[in-house]
Amino acid sequence: MQEKRLLGLRIKELRKNKGLSQEELAEKAATSPNYLSRMERGTENPTLAMLIKISRALDVDMWELFEFGHGESMRELKESLVKLVKGPDEERIRLAVKILRAVLR
């Protein structure tokens, strides 16, 4: 299942961004390093309770575990940006520019 693999890659990415080893995250989430390793490889099907523990241990909102855009190529990212600002809605474009400026400062 592709979604389990993407979820595992996302957990691994968030863990590394926080500077945590698998053992450290597993301890914070009250699980075993082996179970966490299987989740990160996409071979384990974590429960909702475990996903809550993982998100709390990583100090991220639950939805961030499912933000799979991290695997997109540069071309796909650019296409996504173009789609977001496409059309005659001037206010939407202004809002997008404000958000990008705020993030890039």
Of all residues in the chain, the percent with pLDDT exceeding 70 is 92
- In total, how many domains does the chain have? 2
Q: Are residues 64 and 37 in the same domain?
A: yes
**Which domain does 58 fall in, by range?**
2-69
pLDDT in tens, 22-62: 999 999 999 999 999 999 999 999 999 999 999 999 999 99
Q: Are residues 78 and 56 in the same domain?
A: no
DSSP-derived letter for residue 3 is: H
- 90: amino acid identity, one letter: E
Q: Are residues 23 and 63 in the same domain?
A: yes
Q: Are residues 15 and 56 in the same domain?
A: yes
Cut 0.75: pTM above it = no
Q: Are residues 65 and 79 in the same domain?
A: no
